Amino acid sequence: MNVIAPASAAPVRSNGHAPAQTDIAPCLISAWNTHDPHAIEALFVEDCVLEDCGIAVPLQGHRGLRRAILFNFLAFPDVHFELISQIRDGARVAVEWRAEGTHAGRFMGIPATRRRVSLEGITLLSLRDGRIARLRRVWDIAGVIRQLGLLPELAQI
């Protein structure tokens, strides 16, 4: 197992070659930060599977991926991600990240509040041929809903 220190997000490669496995997390963060759905999609195999603690069923393939991208960009059009750390073990990568954005569109049935939110999460990636075959994302849903004003603040003990 290799622990890889945080790095500034590298650009998605435009030469048609998949990024090296050690580059996949910075490339994914960079692609999200450019807000370019095509750059994000290029990092995934065609039959990819996306699992997210905030959606009821896994999304399949590039079509499902595009739905997830659209869902996120409509709800938080200025979303920005930061890579905190990553750990690689062969074709598996664990990514710790932080994100911030303004709730400007419908999100999980919640109309836009225009509130700024900050959250942290972990994404587990399984790679095939240097591209993402499976993405499993876990993030602080309650923290986001709290920042949107729909849950009480945490108790101060």
E strand or H helix at 73: helix 61-75
Domain boundaries, the chain: 20-147
**Which positions ≥6 away from 156 have C-beta within 8 Å?**
none
Q: What is the pLDDT along the chain (157 residues), one digit of tens a residue?
A: 444 444 343 334 444 555 555 589 999 999 999 999 999 999 999 999 999 999 999 999 999 999 999 999 999 999 999 999 999 999 999 999 999 999 999 999 999 999 999 999 999 999 999 999 999 999 999 999 999 999 999 888 8
Q: Count of alpha carbons within 13 Å of 141, Cβ hemisphere only?
A: 9
pTM over 0.95: no
User: Could you tell me the end-to-end alpha-carbon distance of the chain, in angstroms, rounded to an integer?
Assistant: 39
Q: What is the pLDDT of residue 157?
A: 87
Q: What is the pLDDT of residue 73?
A: 97
Instruction: Give me the CATH topology for the region 20-147.
Output: Nuclear Transport Factor 2; Chain: A, (3.10.450)
How many whole angstroms separate alpha carbon 26 and alpha carbon 125?
13
